Structure 1
Amino acid sequence: MKTKIVAVINQKGGTGKTTTTINLGSALSKQGHKVLLLDLDPQSNLSYSLAVSSPDQTLAEAFVGAKSLKEILVEKDGLWVAPGSNELVDVEISLVTQPERESFLKSMLSQVKGFDYVLIDCPPSLSVLTLNALTAAHEVLIPLQMEVLTLQGLDQIMNTIEKVKKAFNPKLKIKGIVVVMFDVRRKLSLEVLDYLRENVQEKIFDSHIRLNVKLAEAPSFGKSILDYDSTSNGAKDYKALAAEFSLA
């Protein structure tokens, strides 16, 4: 299959973006797909969560041309990871003054072959690094909590995607919205979900990621939820999402 590059974005922190990138990637890998995860967040939560916390080279080196993207990749539990680092902050500052600053990641990814999926964990901001991800991506996946402020944030994300489509990447499309940290016992969660279904034209995946203690524990052990506890609700939910995602 042709490589599908998917940017996982939400401009708020703590929205399940990194958790979704890791565990959707792991579930796709266990389906037999070859998956690359890019940790584009200077906080490097994805790298830490998979115990890739002290890599020799990171995406920062690839952005400045000191290493190729292929040279920095680390294999972990059937996944390939391009680690992040704090140095991405400096990279972002330097990109601001560069011509075609939005296309660096697209150029880097063009040199890497053989992956079925590339999932990009974007920073929790609509930054130059996020712009690079959206310019390189074919599709966008948006993890959303069912909170009132979520709706305001979704409008901002949609507006940014439209601007990127017009300026840099006309083929970019929204893969869908993933409901995360879902608590069916909360009336508000159900109300926000109903509102989204009625007012948002984009696909909302039927597979919801429920609140799950095991999901919160897994990063402490450097594992995806599927490798940490394959019988947990978190693992079941991400397996279901991966099945739906690969058919969408």
Structure 2
Amino acid sequence: MATTIVSIINQKGGTGKTTTTINLGRALSKLGKKVLLVDLDPQSNLSYSLDITEPQFTLADVFTGNKKLKEILVAKDDNFFVAPGSHELVDIEISLVTQEKRESFLKNILADVKGFDFVLIDCPPSLSVLTLNALTASQQVLIPLQMEVLTLQGLNQILVTVKQVKTTLNSRLKVKGIVIVMYDKRRKLSSEVEAFLQESVDEKIFRSKVRLNVKLAEAPSFGKSILDYDPASNGAQDYLAVAKEFLEM
């Protein structure tokens, strides 16, 4: 079984990147796919949001060679696994700067992954060495995007970086698509930014949008995905729709 590795990136914080990684991953697992989430963000918000607060080992232990990836995985159910992150990834990133082939460490780590349909990487909110590692290891990039004017500038930076990585480090890399998140149809700006996107961006924009939903904000406090916290909520239904569209593409 071939594994598809997807980097979920946005260099701006608070854009729904971690929320999308968790809930898209959980939705895919609910649809029968075996999914691994990789918490590459030193803030480790993904791990915390799934109630992995004091893991015995983390991704930092794998980067240093002390553990194999399979030894650190936390099973949330039979189809849903997490490779926890930690603040120690800050030190890992600093040490990578001086290494040869520093962009390929994660690619080599993930080469040992077997049996998963999808690996979703929650990248740091910056275009850093760790993010370059994720892009080098991935076949696809998914970009969650708020309908705000400043996010358009950030989107252009992401697309330029993806193009550069594709040219220099990973020729198979492609943009899977852009997912509109925190969508509020009552705001005129939302429809204006969406219209601009449709006109000016060549990449695929998902038909399914993730609406602004208080339950999505509550779920991490309970250590659960939205699909486990409140499966009847708009947030759960929206991420299921995104996952179904994701599988159709």
| Residue 37, structure 1, aligned to residue 32, structure 2 | no
Q: What's 1:12 paired with?
A: 12
2:143 is matched with which residue? 142
CA distance in 2, matches of 1:15, 1:201: 21
Give the 3-state SS of the residue equivalent to 2:120 in structure 1. Answer: strand
Q: Offset of 1:100 from its aligned partner? A: 0.3
TM superposition shift of 1:171? 0.8
Q: C-alpha distance in 2, partners of 1:180/1:53?
A: 26
Q: Which residue of 2 aligns with 1:183?
A: 184
| Distance apart, 1:114 and its partner CA | 0.3
Alignment of 1:151 onto 2:156: no
CA distance in 1: counterparts of 2:5 and 2:33, whole angstroms: 13
Distance 1:71 1:191 in 2: 47
Letter in 1 for 2:202: Q
Deviations 1:74-116 (A, max 9, x none): 0114410000000000000000000000000000000110000
Partner residue in 1 for 2:58: 58
5 Å matches for 1:232-243? 232-243=233-244
User: Distance in 1 between the 2:123 and 2:76 partners?
Assistant: 20
Aligned residues: 248
- Residue identity in the other structure for 1:30: K
Match of 2:121 in 1: 120
Hey, what does 1:167 align to over in structure 2? Answer: 168
User: Which whole-Å CA distance do the structure 1 matches of 2:193 and 2:52 have between them?
Assistant: 36
Point out 4+ residue stretches in structure 1 off by more than 6 angstroms. none
The whole-number CA distance in structure 1 between the counterparts of 2:76 and 2:41 is 19
Is the partner of 2:185 in helix, strand or coil? coil
Q: Deviations over 1:199-246 (max 9, x none)?
A: 101000000000000000000000000000000000000000000001
Looking at structure 1, the residues matched to 214 and 156 of structure 2 have their Cα atoms a distance apart, in angstroms, of 30
Separation of aligned partners in 1, 2:235 and 2:113: 31
| Superposition deviation, residue 53 in structure 1 | 1.1
What's the % identity of the aligned pairs? Answer: 72
Amino acid at match of 1:218: A
CA RMSD of aligned residues (A): 0.6
Distance 2:2 2:61 in 1: 27
Q: Unpaired runs of 5+ in structure 1?
A: none
SS in 1 for 2:14: coil
Amino acid of the structure 2 residue aligned with 1:245:
F
CA distance in 1, matches of 2:163, 2:244: 28
- 1:9 Cα deviation from its structure 2 partner: 0.2
Q: How does 1:70-109 map to 2 (within 5 A)?
A: 70-77=70-77, 78-109=79-110
What's the counterpart of residue 212 of structure 1?
213
